[in-house]
Amino acid sequence: MNRPRDVQGIGARRAALKLLDAVLRRGETLDQAAATATAGLPTTSDIALARAIASEALRWLTDLDVLIDSATRQRLADDAKARTVLRIMVAQWLRLGTPPHAVVATALPLLAGGPRRLAHGVFGALVRRPAALPPTPTLPAAVADRWGERAEAIAAGLAEPPALDLTLRDPTETDAWAERLGGTSLAAGHLRLARGTAISDLPGYADGAWWVQDLAASLPARLLGAGEGRRVLDLCAAPGGKALQLAAAGWQVTAVDTSNRRLDRLRENLTRTGLTAEIVVADVLEWEPGNTFDAILLDAPCTATGTARRHPDVLHRIGPRQIAEMADLQARLLHRASAWLNPHGRLVYAVCSIERGEGEEQVAQVPLSLDPIRTEELPAGLSPAPKGWLRTDPGMLRDQGGLDGFFIARFRQI
């Protein structure tokens, strides 16, 4: 018989357990925790499996706990290791299609010296019913309260990880690339491909014909239009998708971000696409540009709750404290950026957050005039709010694959 550490697949499950612990107990993001949690796994497939298990457990956490509690006489503590292992077990079975015998063989060794019989019994009871998850994940109560009347629709949009979205360097080639890659398009310059596509193997990658970017994330730069050689400042620019869009649209781009490491992605993509931009490594709260700009794009740091489709950890890490901290930072960035705009210049403010404190409540603090977004500027199926800003969320365009949650507002210097 194999010893527990020799059973194939245990390593990925152990890594998934570490990922869940990092998110739920220490408040880390999945991305922050991944390097440490998956260290030592032998293949990229093992790493991907660990991430998939943890992501699905977080996506369906509330519903997994309901099932677990329905099969226990005494409720397990929220932070009990047995509960976390059971979350992993049920998520694999009901979300990843892992056969129950394989679930048991690879998960119970994680409880060596602990309540293995309890976990085995609870999982066996659920399999015998058989148990099932609802069609839509149940949001944590605090999250549902914050998201209000859109909470149910947003939750429905979180049921599956997103497809792969691409932004094309040349929007006039949209139809040609859609045919070549077998994708669909929701807007000029956008392509959507099936999830799981190997990016670097696709035609056009090596030639820099496109880059990966969610449809919603592409909207802020689109709202600045054609550059025609004018100067644009891209603040908090890393990893650089919007800077690439602006350069492709004919803007002279100055891209600023505090993270030199994250700007490496932009440098690589500029080389790959043949586009150009000036890159500045600096803290926007301390940096002085020395001149003003015809346009400014501020994609501000935020809680990123709008990315819950691909980062379900945000459902469990983000609360009022984090939202307030981000809103304060965003207000300070907006105040500084507003002073760097030329007369009649335009500023686009964007955050990939569903929280009102980071979106609608920021508008009144901007010392510029609101420049209303028009329906004809947006992909079909999207429309601005009556006051002229745009709010997207994962519940929108669901029949076409959905999109991330963003708040976007455009302003003009008088």
How much is the CA Rg of the chain, to the nearest whole Å? Answer: 23
Measure Cα distances from 236 to 8, 48, 242, 308 in Å.
43, 29, 10, 21
Sign, CA torsion 271/194/311/354: positive
- Rounded Cα–Cα distance for residues 380 and 53 (Å): 34
Catalytic annotation on 302? no
* Total Cβ atoms within 10 A of residue 100: 16
* Helices of type H across 241-399: 241-248, 260-273, 314-317, 320-338
Give the chain's length.
414
- Where residue 383 falls (left for φ over 0; alpha for ψ -120 to 50; beta otherwise) is beta
Report the distance separating Cα 281 and Cα 13, nearest Å.
39
CB 235 within 8 A of CB 157: no
Which backbone phi and psi does 322 adopt, to 5 degrees? -65, -40
Catalytic-role residue among 246, 352, 368, 397: 352
| Burial annotation 329-349 (CB, 10 A radius, 16+ → b, else e) | bbeebbebbbebbeeebbbbb
Closest CA to 272 of 207, 201, 198: 207
Find where tokens 């760097």 sit.
340
Do 220 and 350 touch, CB atoms closer than 8 A?
Answer: yes
Q: State the DSSP string of 102-156.
A: HHHHHHGGGGTTS-HHHHHHHHHHHHHTT----SSPPPPHHHHHHHGGGHHHHHH
* Sign for the pseudo-dihedral over CA of 152, 153, 154, 158: positive
Q: What amino acid positions are annotated as catalytic residues?
A: 352
